Structure 1
Amino acid sequence: MFTLKETASSSLSLPADNYIYSLVPSAAGTFATISSDDSLRVFDAANLDRVAVVSPKAHDGGVTSLRSYAAGESQLLATGGREGRVKLWDVRAGKTVMEVETTRNAPVLSIACNPETNTIVAGTELLSSQAVVAFWDIRSPQAPRLQYVESHNDDVTELQYHPTRNNILLSGSTDGLVNIYDTTVTDEDDALVQVINHGSVHHAGFLSESTIFALSHDEQFSIHPATNPDDPGQEPEPVDFDDLREPLGVEYVVQVCMGGQGPYIAAGNKLDKRLDLVPLVSSPSWKFDQDNLWRLPGAHGDEVVRSVYLDEQSQSVFTCGEDGFVRVWKPDGDDSQAQAGSTKTSRKEKKPKDRFRPY
């Protein structure tokens, strides 16, 4: 086990008793957050007190989701809201540059961005017996260019594009399904290339080009090989980890984080006031490498951590949570903390920076 120590923290000048939902990278050296006061803020990664309020109220009905939209030299941010709108923000100008509406103003719960195809996707709450995955081309956003309206029968909580294939989109829902679509196909039935039945989806996504994960709202976790379109008879066998709380010694799972060394499970324990980043390794088979986990002691106190980002540029871990703070963490240089409970080895072997990096 290795230890990270907190090196900075800030409330981002939020009003008291607010908490931070999510943080994502913005322009170089900056991050963006959405919070329970419905504001959209950006802050300097090197100086958390340098904060700009892009909008004090990003959405009238309440902001629900935040994603980066990097397009060449422009750094835009996309947000979704409960009033059924998706907005694209120019951070430097502090204003929206595009705004679209869902059908019947269905609340937006999830969004995904694909700048290479000029696309923003929104997943909606179930409204009038319909949950929609809607696509807009930002060059002509007057109406959705594509909608999938039958693939989910409950709230769409997750959307993510494939890491290398711009035509492949993943969606997850509280109906228990994770769907994989070929978005070049307009017929909804034909567009579905894989359906995974997991349980009410909190998060889902791609661990690699050929591997999918699913995390439920009750901390059930599974890994699935992606269907090979060239082998339609293939029946991928999942690796089911069941409930992660007991085996990892945690109370809740935040998300899966992707780092330079591979994926990590970010999981917290409020009673012990800690957050762990547990490596997920695939060789020889998928398992959690708890001997090499990174621990963030203190975490966000007895409040839930809501979002984690592993930042390679600053070699830091950024977290935000229901205590209303953003916190920055770096490896603890104390060799005695580098590998708890292990047999003593040389100083060189025990240095966490030499052995393992989360970013």
Structure 2
Amino acid sequence: MESLEETLKGLSIARRSHPEEPTYLLHVALQPSGLLAVSCSNLTIHLHNEESLNLVGEYRGHKGPLCGLTFAHNSSDLLYSGSADGTVQAWDVRCPGTDAVQMFKSDPSHCYCSFDLNCSDMLLCAGTEQVNDEDSFLVFWDSRKPGSRLLGVYSESHSDDITQVCFHPRDKDRLASGSTDGLVNVFDLSRGAEEEALLVTCNSDSSAGSVRWSGAGYTQLLCLSHDEGLHLWDVGQLDTEEPLTIFSTSDVRSLTPLPDGVGVDYLVGGQWLEEAQKLLVVGGKNSGDLHMMECDSKGLHLLRSLEGGHTSTVRCFLWSAAGEALVTGGEDAQLLLWKPGGKQLATGKRESMKSESTVKLKSRPHKKHGFKKEKKST
């Protein structure tokens, strides 16, 4: 089997897809059996075939900007989506175009800006925007009981928008959360009450945007901030005297991992590659070029640059180890599949596509979206 570096060297565009309606592509999730789910800024969710990128279905059910997608781990025909409309909804991907089969809500004042499902598929958690200029909440449901009351709420650990909730890939009770208050918290939910469950708080000294579990055994946390900071912590060191910080920079743009001593303009995200035992961080240039980098205790190291694909900011990516493929989506409304030796079917770049619905969004996917609920008439 080729090394990751050798695989990445051979990547080129194999497929290129774009929706008929101009829209930003915000999040992407992969079903093990070969479906790609993509959330769009026009509030729709698209289903694509992983190999051909052909559109095979669409869902329209949310009334506010989407904040994420995830497939269930054990019942992967269920796709979950969260939204600022105050709902987390589940869709049966065997029946494209149908209504959601499950819906989860909390207080009517709650707008969600993050959510996740734990590895046992039993527990859902959503993070809210700040409410009443002082409170933000982590809300929990039993995913097996749609429409049931909340299992519980954590309200003391964050003071601003909770931009990320991320369950541990193997420990059903371990949860990380990040917020625009700069704090990244790790909880052990088996301990019950919030004060007892909070294990550690890490400070990003900025507005935390993306939080991901990484490292061997998933004992590390990667945090990417809204102003392009990067922090890698080892939360497996909590019971030792060793420092938690593995690597930290307040602005990745000041680093020069690229040829000719230049850096990236922004960070797309990070993903721990279990098979390769490497932390992949993807950054981009405003021109649309992408740069795949490894992150470790010494910083960022360029693995491969990808040029000639996107024409503007890339919003999402995922690496499929099984398919040895990279999927990327962005503000140019393009969904690209990169594979070793790939030969794209449609040639030529597409122009960046803007629409009335997309220009209202922030230029970054994880910033406040300002969605307001409609007041119910009495």
- In the superposition, the TM-score normalised over structure 1's length comes to 0.84
Question: Does residue 289 of structure 1 match 2:301?
Answer: yes
1:307-353 Cα distance to aligned partner (Å, 9 max, x none): 1111122211100001111001123589xxxxxxxxxxxxxxxxxxx
How much has 1:3 moved relative to structure 2? 5.7
How much has 1:257 moved relative to structure 2? 2.1
Identity of aligned residues (%): 27
Among 205, 214, 231, the alignment partner of 1:207 is 214
Among 57, 61, 66, the alignment partner of 1:58 is 61
Question: Is the 1:33–1:40 Cα contact (8 Å) retained in structure 2?
Answer: yes
The alpha-carbon distance between structure 1 residues 50 and 83, as it changes in their structure 2 partners (threshold 3 A), is: closer
Counterpart position of 1:97: 101
CA distance in 2, matches of 1:44, 1:61: 26
CA distance in 1, matches of 2:211, 2:227: 14
Question: Is the 1:300–1:323 Cα contact (8 Å) retained in structure 2?
Answer: yes
Residue 320 of structure 2 aligns to which amino acid in structure 1? Answer: D
Residue 206 of structure 1 aligns to which amino acid in structure 2? Answer: W
Question: Is the 1:135–1:145 Cα contact (8 Å) retained in structure 2?
Answer: yes
Counterpart position of 1:111: 115
Matches within 5 A, 1:236-315: 236-247=244-255, 248=257, 249-259=263-273, 260-261=275-276, 262-271=278-287, 273-281=288-296, 285-290=297-302, 293-301=303-311, 303-315=312-324
CA distance in 1, matches of 2:65, 2:55: 25
Among 214, 219, 225, the alignment partner of 1:216 is 225
Counterpart position of 1:26: 31
How much has 1:37 moved relative to structure 2? 1.2
Residue 64 of structure 1 aligns to which amino acid in structure 2? Answer: C
Question: Is the 1:4–1:297 Cα contact (8 Å) retained in structure 2?
Answer: no
Matches within 5 A, 1:61-100: 61-72=64-75, 74-93=76-95, 94-100=98-104
How much has 1:95 moved relative to structure 2? 3.1
How much has 1:5 moved relative to structure 2? 1.4
Comparing both chains, which one has the higher relative contact order based on Cα–Cα distances under 8 Å and sequence gaps of 6 or more?
A: 2
How much has 1:39 moved relative to structure 2? 0.7
Matches within 5 A, 1:172-183: 172-183=178-189
CA distance in 2, matches of 1:181, 1:136: 16
Q: How many residues end up aligned between the 2 structures?
A: 321
Q: Secondary structure at the match of 1:245?
A: helix
How much has 1:172 moved relative to structure 2? 0.3
How much has 1:106 moved relative to structure 2? 0.9
The alpha-carbon distance between structure 1 residues 333 and 63, as it changes in their structure 2 partners (threshold 3 A), is: closer
Q: Secondary structure at the match of 2:196?
A: helix
- The farther-off stretch of 192-201 and 102-111 is 102-111
How much has 1:286 moved relative to structure 2? 3.8
How much has 1:114 moved relative to structure 2? 1.5
Q: Secondary structure at the match of 1:166?
A: coil
The alpha-carbon distance between structure 1 residues 276 and 191, as it changes in their structure 2 partners (threshold 3 A), is: same
Question: Is the 2:119–2:170 Cα contact (8 Å) retained in structure 1?
Answer: no
Unaligned 5+ runs, structure 2? 258-262, 344-378
How much has 1:89 moved relative to structure 2? 1.2
Among 127, 130, 137, the alignment partner of 1:123 is 127
Q: Secondary structure at the match of 2:163?
A: strand
Question: Is the 1:76–1:89 Cα contact (8 Å) retained in structure 2?
Answer: yes
1:169-211 Cα distance to aligned partner (Å, 9 max, x none): 0000000000000111222111110000102011112112221
- In the superposition, the TM-score normalised over structure 2's length comes to 0.80
Counterpart position of 2:54: 49
Unaligned 5+ runs, structure 1? 335-359
The alpha-carbon distance between structure 1 residues 117 and 313, as it changes in their structure 2 partners (threshold 3 A), is: closer
Q: CA RMSD of the aligned region, Å? A: 2.1
How much has 1:227 moved relative to structure 2? 5.0
Question: Is the 2:178–2:184 Cα contact (8 Å) retained in structure 1?
Answer: yes
